[in-house]
Chains A and B, each alone.
Chain A
Amino acid sequence: MWPLIAGEARKVLTTRVWLWLLLAAAGLTILYAVLTMAFADTPDALTAPLTTAEGQRTLFAVGGAAAPFAALLGAIGLTAEYRHRTATITFLTVPHRGQIITAKLIVHVLAGAAYAVVCISITTAVVPPWLASQDISIAVPARDLFATDLGVVTSVALFAAIGVGLGALIREQVAAVVTLLIYLFVVENILTNITALHQWTPYLPGQAQEALIGSTLTNQSLLTPWQGGLVLTAYSLAIATIGTLLTAHRDVT
């Protein structure tokens, strides 16, 4: 298994897609952090006031913004095999397709975790000085802060697996990327704004992530972090398993 993981890691690192997506993830993290710091205390803000532990925890959790980019990395990584017709060489070198897809999942889960660590570093570097400059003392217990960081790493890593699985299902690179972007940035936002659906929306992947990283959103009720983590794990396991099985059995023409 080790050569397969090393080989898949080499694939990721020998093109620059990982770098552009990491920069995008870092950029969005900074944007969310700035927006939250600027508008958290305005009347119609979605987050709790930054003087509260809930508000601060939500601010520390903005590194979760890396999730869509980790998913894109996974989806692009898998669909590139079909787009550039490297699937043939890959499956010739490793005829056990289940193993090679598993290696790809592991590599992208690790890459997702690395994205999360970078984004957490950003929030850790930016948020405390800013709070200090506003004369706000940190109200989040260290334990909760750690839980949030762990939640960010876990959720972003799981989204990477979702990306790989979705890529295996769709195979067409443009379609997979567009599907991910539209769902994560448009569809889920629309659904969570429909009050009649509020009983169900906490189970959507993005909302499950919000629960896992310990965000508090004033217009949403979320699952507990544990439930969120379980729901997100279920999504990624299901999609990754279906994608792997399909890839293992489909003809490569």
Chain B
Amino acid sequence: MVVAPAEHGRIVVEGVSKSFGPVRAVNELSFVVEPGGVTGFLGPNGAGKTTTLRMLLGLVTPDSGVARIGSRRYADLPTPAHEVGAVLDASGFHPARSGRDHLRVSCTLGGLPLRRVDEVLDLVGLSDAGTRRVRGYSLGMRQRLALAGALLGDPPVLILDEPTNGLDPEGIAWMRRLLQGFAEQGRTVLVSSHVLSEVQQLVDQVVIIRRGQLVHHGPLAELSGPDAHVVSIRSPRTEALTAALSAAEGCRVERAGPDRLRVTGVPASRIGDIAFAAGVMLHELTPHAVGLEDVFFSLTNATGTDSDPGVDPPGGAVTCGR
């Protein structure tokens, strides 16, 4: 087991930008991931997560900025297999090669002893499938094989892109125990996902990006803050109510039907007060229990025009009172 000093296993992303043609995939992104925890790297599809990880791992050259593992860029690590284990592509296997041979190739290239192959196969629960060709593996088995490859060098830093894809709930629970075990050993674990609920049980810190920019970085517990109110309203005078709610701080109003609104950011009692003061009658006022997923969704879809700028989404959302 490797327990490295904190400085050593820190992941540092500093002002990194990358464009592909006219598309700015990552824009001046900075964050630091500390050892000893599992950090979720979250954002919707196309937010720039994979590009960021690829820049961190020296596969994509940033237009500007620098990403480092400890004090070095990935390409400058003297023995990368011993220092960072990464899974970027759980489909990155030659279908005609057996899982065991795949790992033996990586071992040889990385200058690692071949006995590690059976050790990691055992660790990820693939001992029985090792000699079979990868062609016959399920998506979950491929995820396990990819993870096995990342663990060959027993690295202090683990970087996993969408590791829960294709895992059943049992597999996710297994992954959680494994990664939290690594974090307790003082290793750095960074896990990306586009679905918060899949990694919610896995992570203690989150880095959330949207359109290549940082929108939130901190403990997972802080995500469910005072913003986490969602209230359904039915009223015959939605226009007047929307106008009245516009004055409230942090409030976001969405039209949910001809006489329905969905309001986030203020508690139901406050909405009742505002409606009363404005003289608007309410036929329904239902507060919803807000999951982290809603907070995540509101963070990553701030104005509803992310994926398709210039086109208003149906229903029309208004952010007000900021």
Interface residues of A (CB under 8 A from B): 3-4, 6-8, 10-11, 14-16, 80, 84-96, 100, 249, 251-253
Return the chain B residue nearest A8 by Cβ: B109
Provide 28 A-B residue pairs closer than 8 Å at the C-beta atoms, listed in order of the A residue: A3-B110, A6-B108, A7-B108, A8-B109, A10-B101, A10-B104, A10-B108, A11-B94, A14-B94, A14-B97, A15-B96, A80-B94, A84-B95, A86-B94, A87-B92, A88-B59, A89-B92, A91-B58, A91-B59, A92-B59, A92-B84, A92-B88, A94-B110, A95-B58, A100-B109, A251-B54, A251-B59, A253-B59
Q: How far is the CB of B108 from chain A (nearest CB, A)?
A: 4
B185 within 8 A of A: no
Given contacts A91-B59, A253-B54, A253-B60, contact A86 B109 (CB under 8 A): no
Q: A92-B59, A92-B80 are in contact. Are A16 and B93 (CB under 8 A)?
A: no
Interface check B57, CB cutoff 8 A? yes
Contact with A along B19-55 (1 / 0, CB 8 A): 0000000000000000000000000000000010010
What residues of B have a CB within 8 angstroms of the CB of A253 in the complex?
51, 54, 59-60
Which one of B58, B89, B109 has the highest number of Cβ atoms from chain A below 10 Å of its Cβ? B109
Among A6, A84, A251, which residue has its beta carbon within 8 angstroms of that of B92? A84
Interchain nearest-CB distance for B282 vs A (Å): 51
Q: A85-B91, A86-B94, A95-B80 are in contact. List 12 more A-B contacts (CB 8 A).
A: A3-B111, A15-B96, A80-B94, A88-B88, A89-B92, A91-B58, A92-B88, A93-B81, A94-B109, A95-B58, A100-B109, A253-B54
Tell me whether B3 is interfacial, beta carbon within 8 Å: no
- CB-CB nearest in chain A for B55: A251
Interface membership of chain B positions 224-246, coded 1 if the CB is closer than 8 angstroms to chain A and 0 otherwise: 00000000000000000000000
In the docked arrangement, what's the CA distance between A86 and B91, Å? Answer: 8
B173 interface residue per 8 A CB criterion: no
Complex Cα spacing A87 to B58, Å: 13
| Cβ contacts under 8 Å, A88 to chain B | 59, 88-89, 92
Are A84 and B111 CB-contacts (below 8 A) given A10-B105, A93-B80, A251-B61?
no
Contacts A252-B60, A253-B54 given; does A93 touch B109 at CB 8 Å:
yes
Question: Is B182 part of the contact surface with A, judged by Cβ < 8 Å?
Answer: no
- Cβ of B106 under 8 Å from chain A: yes
The interface residues of chain A lying within 8 Å CB-to-CB of B51 are: 253
Q: Which residues of B contact A96 (CB under 8 A)?
A: 75
Q: How far is the CA of A80 from the CA of B74 in the complex (A)?
A: 24
| Chain B neighbourhood of A6, CB < 8 A | 108
A251-B80 in contact (CB<8A): no
Chain B positions within 8 Å of A, measured between CB atoms, are 51, 54, 57-61, 74-75, 77, 80-81, 84, 86, 88-89, 91-98, 101-102, 104-106, 108-111, 149
Judge whether A3 and B97 touch: CB under 8 Å: no
Counting from the closest, the 3 A-B pairs by CB-CB distance are A7-B109, A7-B108, A85-B92
Chain A: which residue is nearest B92 at the CB level?
A: A85
- Residue of A10, A85, A92 contacting most chain B CB atoms (<10 Å): A92
Is the CB–CB distance between A86 and B81 below 8 Å?
no
In the bound complex, CA of A14 to CA of B107 (Å): 14
Residues on A with C-beta less than 8 A from B97 are: 14-15
Within 8 Å CB of A90, what residues of B?
109
A106 → chain B closest CB, angstroms: 14
Chain A residues near B101: list those with CB within 8 A: 10, 14
The residue on A at minimum CB distance from B134 is A84
B64 to chain A minimum Cβ distance, whole angstroms, is 15
Q: Are B54 and A7 in contact (CB under 8 A)?
A: no
Q: Which residues of chain B are near A10, meaning CB under 8 Å?
A: 101, 104-105, 108
- Expressed in whole angstroms, the Cα–Cα distance for A100 and B80 within the complex equals 14
Give complex CA distance A80, B105 in Å: 14
Distance (Å) between the CB of A92 and the closest chain B CB? 6
Contacts of A84 in B (CB 8 A): 92-95
Q: Residues of A contacting B57 with CB < 8 Å?
A: 92
Chain A residues lying within 8 Å of B105, measured Cβ to Cβ, are 7, 10-11, 14
Least CB distance from A198 to B in Å reads 44
By a CB distance below 8 angstroms, the chain A residues around B84 are 92
Give the Cβ gap from A102 to chain B, nearest Cβ, in Å: 13
A4→B59 contact, CB < 8 A: no
